[in-house]
Amino acid sequence: MTGEDRGGDEYEALLAANREWAEDVSRSDPQLFESMAEGQRPPFLLVACCDSREALEVATKAGPGRLFIHRNVANQVRLDDPAMDATLEFALKALPIRHLVVSGHTRCGGVEAALDGGGSRGVVRWVEPVRELAQRHREELDALPDARARSHRLTELNVVAQVTNLLRHPAVRRKLDGGGELALHGWVFQVESGMLREVELPWDDWRQEGLLPSNRVTGR
């Protein structure tokens, strides 16, 4: 598809909706776009999945300028990913980030690919850490009643694993070891209901492993 073939009504509708949104915002908050043009000051950095259903700005009513979001398949925090490096280094150095959040979601295609080995070669390669996580928790997952329950549980385990990876990332370590205050959170967005559910995080395990600095890091 080229610029000459604009994709028909659905494409034009998207642009029309943008114009309507911008006009509505300008009427309700005439200074918003001018203030955003001066820079951004989001308090939240979210690592989320690419899935179009995980519409976090809409689901939280955050509006523009409050959520700094990094997305990839199955919300991975890879320590060998230059895109993640750039996101964390920029956000934690240049922005007033006070909360780090990993947000997975139910019915995640990446998680399901890790469980059943399906998906394209690129997806299979990308979600290999999730497949390894499933292998480590195979006994627990196999005891669950069906594939949906296993997928939901692996989604939770994956959120915990990725928050742990955040704690191990050099940019986060520098921030925390330098006395910076960061609250860490894990979420699962439930596509069946639109609700966000907090995932319990292993604070005691992290303390035993030395991943938490002396200044107390919590989920609040």
Residue carrying structure tokens 């911008």? 22
Highest mean pLDDT among 74-83, 116-125, 176-185: 74-83
Is the domain of 55 the same as that of 23? no
Q: Is residue 191 part of a domain?
A: yes
Q: What is the mean pLDDT of residues 190-218?
A: 89
Between residues 15 and 213, the one the model is more confident about: 15
pLDDT digits (tens, 9 = 90+) for 159-168: 999 999 999 9
Is the domain of 49 the same as that of 20? no
Q: Is residue 196 part of a domain?
A: yes
Is the domain of 29 the same as that of 64? no
| Contact present, 41 and 95 (Cβ < 8 Å) | yes
Q: Is residue 2 part of a domain?
A: yes
Tokens (6 digits) for 84: 């993640």
**Residues sharing a CB contact under 8 Å with residue 202, sequence separation 6 or more, in sequence order:** 160, 164
Residue carrying structure tokens 């915002």? 25
Among 83, 72, 79, 66, CA closest to 47: 72
Q: Is residue 220 part of a domain?
A: no
Of the pLDDT bands very low, low, confident and very high (cuts 50, 70, 90), residue 120 is: confident
Is the domain of 10 the same as that of 53? no
Q: Is residue 65 part of a domain?
A: yes
Is the domain of 50 the same as that of 136? yes
Please state, in angstroms and as integers, the Cα–Cα distance from residue 173 to each residue in 68, 95, 160, following that order.
19, 16, 17
Is the domain of 33 the same as that of 49? no
Q: Is residue 58 packed enough to be buried (19+ CB in 10 Å), middle (13-18) or exposed (0-12)?
A: exposed
Q: Is residue 218 part of a domain?
A: no
Is the domain of 191 the same as that of 149? yes
Is the domain of 94 the same as that of 123? yes
Tell me the C-alpha distance between 219 and 95, whole Å: 19
Domain of 85?
Answer: 41-209
pLDDT digits (tens, 9 = 90+) for 67-92: 999 999 999 999 999 999 999 999 99
Q: Is residue 34 part of a domain?
A: yes
Is the domain of 68 the same as that of 35? no
Q: What is the CATH number of the domain that holds 80?
A: 3.40.1050.10
Is the domain of 110 the same as that of 168? yes
Is the domain of 96 the same as that of 164? yes
pTM of the model: 0.92
Q: Is residue 162 part of a domain?
A: yes
**Residues sharing a CB contact under 8 Å with residue 138, sequence separation 6 or more, in sequence order:** none
Structural domain count, the chain: 2
- Kindly tell me the number of DSSP H helices and DSSP E strands found in the chain: 11, 5
Is the domain of 101 the same as that of 31? no
